[in-house]
Amino acid sequence: MNNKSSTTFDAQAKERQLKAESDSWNTTVVEEARDGDIPVIDIGPYLATGSDHDRNQVAAQLKTACEEVGFFSVIGHQVSSDQLATAFRATRDFHALPLQHKTAILMDRPDWPVGGMGYLPIKNTKLPARDTGNVNEAFIIKCDHQLGLDDNQWPEPQVAAGFREVVTDYAASMQALGRQMLPLYATALDMPPTFFNDAFDKPLYRLRMTHYPAVQNSATEEFGIAPHVDTSFCTILAQDQPGLCIFSERRRQWIKAPALDGAFIVNTGELLKQWTNDRFISVKHFANNNTADTSRYSIPFFFNANPTWKMTCVPSCCGPDNPAKYPPISYLESQGVVQGE
């Protein structure tokens, strides 16, 4: 998809390209992160004042992170520690349910009209699609310009009391945080702070509450989540323990991402990479399971523009000497869906 004369986007070819690239990555050596490998950005001052000065200060840090690293830890986000703890408790409680209650809301089951939501079992080969199963299980919801929370699959209230309310509140907080960060992304790209607002009037998001069960052998070739790049605008990740590994473009080395108390890890996705004409990095990453008897849990929030919004190259990212590498494309088109169908 790097042909500068390209006027169409082949979603299936893009998926084949991403899969082939990920299959070629050598993940056998992973080092500990060093100070500064993953920038820590405090957005608290900007959220508190909303001033141009504070926005510009934070945006400058975000610009460096997105152009050179692709991942950063965000603090000062105003999501309370109590809400985070409640979300992780709900995640653990859901995955502790008897299997029959989880498979009752199995993702992509024939009798549910919408795919990509519900329970994804262990050794799944989806999200990302890979030949070997991912050693995790997940509960997934998604909403967009047409799908609401009522369109998702939920465990019965008598089985998981209060679960839907916790998930709904957490998703609302993540959507609010994503929107609050849009002016920072716009400013980092030398655009007006409102540049992305209309594109996110009815955003598509996917929330995934993931359980990585403990494994006995760390030498296995199976991954908790297979190596991949996200296809989102950005991903906002909460993790209760380390386990995420990223490829440092600075060091040309796989590194272990630390889990900072109360912090989210945010990464650029493939669609933002394309929207910025490859100016922002879409980082390679994967997740491992713990050994012995300790499970891991993570809650990624995948944030995207309105699915029908045409993402035309950000004006500051192209010009006569740097033409757009990708045609204008919506999220739906990036997934192989023809608009109007």
Phi/psi of residue 165, nearest 5 degrees = -65, -40
The more confident residue out of 5 and 71 is: 71
Residue 128, pLDDT score: 61
For residue 196, count other CB atoms closer than 10 A to its CB. 24
Residue 4, pLDDT score: 41
The full DSSP string for 15-54 is HHHHHHHHHH---S-EEEPPTTSS-EEE-HHHHHH--HHH
Residue 11, pLDDT score: 59
Burial pattern 207-237, b for ≥16 Cβ within 10 A else e, equals bbbbbbbebeeeeeeebbbbbbbbbbbbbbb
* Residue ranges covered by each domain of the chain: 25-305
| Tokens of residue 139, six digits | 């509960």
Strand partners, 304: 204
Beta strand 296-304 pairing with 285-287: unpaired
Q: Can you say whether residue 294 is alpha, beta or left, with left for phi > 0 and alpha for psi between -120 and 50 degrees?
A: beta
Sequence letter at residue 334: S
The full DSSP string for 235-281 is EEEEESS--EEEEETTTTEEEEPP--TTPEEEEE-HHHHHHTTT-S-
Its CATH architecture, for the domain 25-305, is Sandwich (2.60)
Q: 9-67: per-residue pLDDT in tens?
A: 665 676 667 667 766 788 888 999 999 899 999 999 999 999 999 999 999 999 999 99
Peptide bond just before 213 cis, omega within 30 deg: no
Q: 270-306: per-residue pLDDT in tens?
A: 999 999 999 999 989 998 877 777 899 999 999 999 9
Lowest mean pLDDT across 129-143, 144-158, 312-326: 129-143
Contact by Cβ (8 Å): 259, 242? yes
Residue with tokens 């004042």, as numbered in its chain: 49
- Can you give the pTM of this predicted structure? 0.91
